[in-house]
């Protein structure tokens, strides 16, 4: 009987893949078919799929580049065969998400770890559970879309062909009243998206948030429930999925979680709301993601890891903490895709002009004048072969050196650090600021190396850098030395230059400056640009000034900001751009005091409609992003636009 069972199994699954712990031929055949469809679900990930009855969980073999599935986790569930199929493919769906972009997937673990470590010891475990619960809900929604799009069996219209409604009816509670607010939010969203007509019972304040109209990218959805169905999209790239999640659902979840922490409800034990699968935030899945990343790396990957080690060591010596260095490494990694392009664009932004030396030479058949000396020497030919005479003078030139124009750039980046700038917007801002600043620094270093040969290059590029954070006031984030401020030129070779720059970039994440009054920052920048010596350099095209503002909201100083922007554009050699990061706009409100506990709390931010003030201030010089993940790429477009503007002004 054993031999008959094994003979019925597909040869590619024999031995390692399915052994006699699968008791029947039918069971073996069922898993063979599941593997075939599962492989299709993984698409072009480059990873294989293998059933291994000897393991008790899911794992990844990075040597063979295979995902290993344990049948015991499926067979142990009290489910029908159709439900088991759905659960099996549900697991493969998570692996498809992971394989698509391990870096993006693994960022979630860092966020959860960070949020839990920020909490007091007595709530740390509960905070971690809450965040895992949140991500599991939305990953499950997207996962099920992948399952049903890539498996024809679940696309049939007849009743009973798709087991999802019944599974979520059993596994997700309909009545969550009185429980933690964050859990009510998670459960209600999952239940209503997976079961559109399902009934949910939740506290009135949670229901109000979920049932009121929700505006996203200018489109009004009937409710947040309706909007949340946009995550049920198999074609949604993981980066875009996470960006959308962080801009929409996460702020709501965080506000409910903060209330649960304040009231102590966060400590209540809640039932997991999944299909009994391995939590996508589990340690095993994280290990799999890291293995997948390693399996994709070649020599370049090893070189990058060595470079990361050197960078980490250098920053540790500069006094940065491990968690700060980890954040810095992530900023560098995420800026890598656009960094070379930005360096190339800066190269085009600065033009190289040859300096020529003119001298008069004789011996030409025509020219501006006759050389008497040459005429005397060639006199014998004057009568016999006059057409061969070479007796004229000409002015000729040759390049003796090169110069860069302009020879100085004043780069000012104004950064919105108001209360409405959440962690994700700030992280994107950090990456964009790093990419634009360090690409310019890299170009200067490249030019400085070229200028070592003084005969070829008479001068390189000077950089004046300002990073200005603004809220209800404005302050310099990048601290220039006294000499740098006086000369308005930073020393990129000073021992502490990178240390000061990284301190400024890290401050973007943790500095809350209140409201959105960008006129404060623009005025600081304008004041320095309008110094007489700077105006003279701009007028003579020896210098150029580039100003970039990054904000998520509409300024409270619209009239003054617009006046400053127009004044800056009126100065020859000044190029100013505004970037509007997308996301819900919230009213910046002062803290309240909770009358019951005496604890400080915040208003639930009021969502406000856009008024068009950003466009009024920046006009054609304003860039509105549809997706926060496009901020780095927007910097590329802005630099391209600046090149075009410079050429048209020249």
Per-residue model confidence as pLDDT tens digits over 512-524: 888 889 999 999 9
Distance CA 192, CA 608 (A): 26
pLDDT of the residue at 16:
41
- Residue-wise pLDDT tens digits, 430-476: 988 998 999 899 888 877 766 554 444 445 789 999 999 999 999 99
pLDDT, tens only, 224-281: 999 999 999 888 888 888 888 888 899 899 999 999 999 998 888 776 555 544 443 4
pLDDT value at residue 283: 62
Distance CA 105, CA 99 (A): 9
Which tokens sit at 417?
A: 């650090």
Q: Angle at which helices 423-450 and 339-349 pack, to 10 degrees?
A: 50
Three-state SS letters, 369-394: EECHHHHHHCCCHHHHCHHHCCCEEE
**What are residue 414's DSSP bridge partners?**
468, 549
Please check whether residue 403 is in contact with residue 606, taking contact to mean a CB–CB distance below 8 angstroms: no
Cα separation, 83 vs 85, whole angstroms: 5
| pLDDT recorded at residue 607 | 45
Residues facing 49 on adjacent strands: 67
Distance from CA of residue 328 to its chain's centroid? 14
Pairwise CA distance, residues 528 & 538, whole Å: 13
- Backbone φ and ψ for 458, nearest 5 degrees, come out as -85, -25
CA distance 72 to 87: 12
Rounded-to-integer distance, Cα 289 and Cα 295, Å: 10
**Tokens coding 276:** 């009994």
Instruction: Report residue 287 as tokens.
Output: 């290990």
* SS3 (DSSP) at 95: helix
Q: How far apart are CA 67 and CA 151, in angstroms?
A: 19
Q: What is the dihedral of CA 181, 420, 113, 105, to 10 degrees?
A: 100
Distances (CA, A) of 532 to 31, 467, 568: 78, 22, 14
Asked if residue 210 lies in contact with residue 190, where contact means CB atoms within 8 angstroms, the answer is no
641's CB contacts (< 8 A; 6+ apart) are 577
Cα–Cα distances in angstroms (integers) from residue 50 to residues 75, 93, 289, in the given order: 16, 15, 17
Q: How far apart are CA 486 and CA 304, in angstroms?
A: 38
How many Cβ atoms sit within 10 Å of the Cβ of residue 197?
Answer: 6
Neighbours of 545 (CB within 10 A): 25
Q: What is the pLDDT of residues 70-109, one digit of tens each?
A: 777 777 677 777 888 888 888 888 878 887 778 788 788 8
Give the helix ranges, DSSP H, for 195-228: 204-211, 224-228
Closest C-alpha to 629, from 104, 62, 229, 112: 104
Q: Which residues of the chain have pLDDT under 50?
A: 1-22, 276-281, 352-357, 398-402, 453-458, 584-608
CA 150 to chain centre: 28
């Amino acid at each position: 009987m054993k031999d008959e069972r094994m003979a019925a199994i597909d040869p590619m699954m024999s031995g390692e893949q399915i052994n006699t712990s699968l008791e029947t031929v039918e069971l073996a055949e069922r898993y063979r078919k599941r593997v075939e469809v599962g492989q299709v679900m993984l698409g072009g990930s480059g990873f294989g799929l293998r059933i291994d009855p000897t393991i008790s969980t899911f794992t990844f073999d990075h040597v063979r580049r295979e995902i290993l599935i344990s049948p015991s986790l499926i067979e142990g569930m009290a489910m029908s065969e159709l439900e088991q199929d759905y659960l099996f493919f549900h697991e493969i769906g998570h692996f498809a998400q992971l394989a698509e972009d391990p870096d993006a997937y693994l960022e979630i673990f860092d966020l959860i770890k960070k949020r839990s470590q920020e909490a007091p010891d007595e709530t740390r475990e509960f905070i971690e559970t809450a965040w895992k619960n949140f991500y599991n809900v939305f990953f499950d929604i997207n996962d099920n879309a992948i399952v049903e799009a890539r498996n024809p069996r679940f696309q049939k219209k007849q009743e009973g062909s798709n087991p999802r409604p019944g599974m979520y009816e059993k596994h997700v509670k309909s009545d969550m009243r009185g429980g933690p607010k964050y859990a009510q939010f998670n459960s209600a969203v999952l239940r209503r998206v997976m079961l559109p007509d399902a009934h949910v019972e939740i506290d009135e304040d949670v229901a109000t948030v979920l049932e009121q109209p929700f505006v996203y990218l200018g489109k009004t959805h009937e409710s947040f429930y309706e909007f949340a169905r946009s995550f049920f999209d198999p074609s949604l790239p993981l980066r875009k999925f996470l960006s959308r999640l962080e801009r929409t659902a996460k702020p709501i979840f965080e506000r409910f979680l903060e209330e649960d922490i304040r009231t102590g409800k966060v400590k209540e034990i809640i039932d997991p709301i999944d299909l009994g699968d391995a939590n996508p935030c589990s340690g095993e899945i994280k290990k799999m993601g890291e293995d997948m990343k390693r399996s994709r790396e070649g020599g370049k990957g090893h070189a990058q890891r060595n470079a990361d080690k050197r960078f980490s060591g250098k920053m540790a010596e500069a006094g940065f903490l491990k968690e700060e260095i980890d954040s810095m490494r992530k900023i560098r990694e995420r800026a890598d895709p656009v960094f070379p392009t930005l360096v190339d664009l800066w190269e085009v932004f600065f033009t190289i002009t040859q300096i020529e030396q003119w001298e008069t030479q004789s011996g030409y058949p025509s020219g501006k004048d006759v050389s008497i000396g040459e005429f005397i020497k060639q006199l014998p030919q004057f009568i016999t072969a006059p057409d061969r005479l070479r007796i004229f003078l000409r002015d000729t030139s040759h390049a003796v050196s090169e110069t860069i124009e302009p020879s100085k750039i004043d780069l000012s980046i104004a950064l919105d650090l108001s209360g409405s700038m959440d962690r994700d917007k700030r992280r994107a801002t950090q990456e964009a600021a790093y990419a634009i600043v360090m690409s310019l620094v890299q170009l200067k270093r490249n030019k400085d190396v070229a200028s070592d040969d003084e005969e070829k290059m008479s001068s390189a590029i000077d950089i004046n850098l300002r990073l200005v954070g603004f809220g209800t006031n404005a302050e310099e984030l990048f601290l220039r030395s006294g000499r740098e401020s006086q000369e308005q030129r930073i020393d990129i070779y000073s021992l502490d230059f990178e240390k000061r720059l990284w301190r400024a970039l890290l401050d973007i994440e943790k500095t809350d400056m209140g409201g959105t009054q960008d006129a404060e920052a623009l005025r600081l920048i304008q004041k320095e640009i309008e110094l007489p010596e700077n105006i003279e350099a701009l007028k003579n095209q020896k210098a150029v000034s580039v100003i970039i503002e990054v904000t998520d909201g509409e300024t409270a100083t619209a009239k003054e900001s617009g006046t400053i922007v127009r004044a800056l554009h009126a100065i020859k050699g000044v190029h100013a751009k505004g970037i509007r990061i997308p996301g819900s706009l919230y009213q910046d409100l002062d803290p309240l005091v909770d009358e019951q506990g005496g604890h400080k709390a915040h208003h639930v931010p009021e969502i406000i409609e856009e008024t068009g003030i950003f466009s009024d201030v920046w006009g054609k010089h304003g860039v509105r992003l549809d997706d926060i993940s496009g901020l780095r790429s927007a910097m590329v477009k802005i630099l391209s636009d600046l090149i075009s503007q410079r050429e048209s002004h020249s």
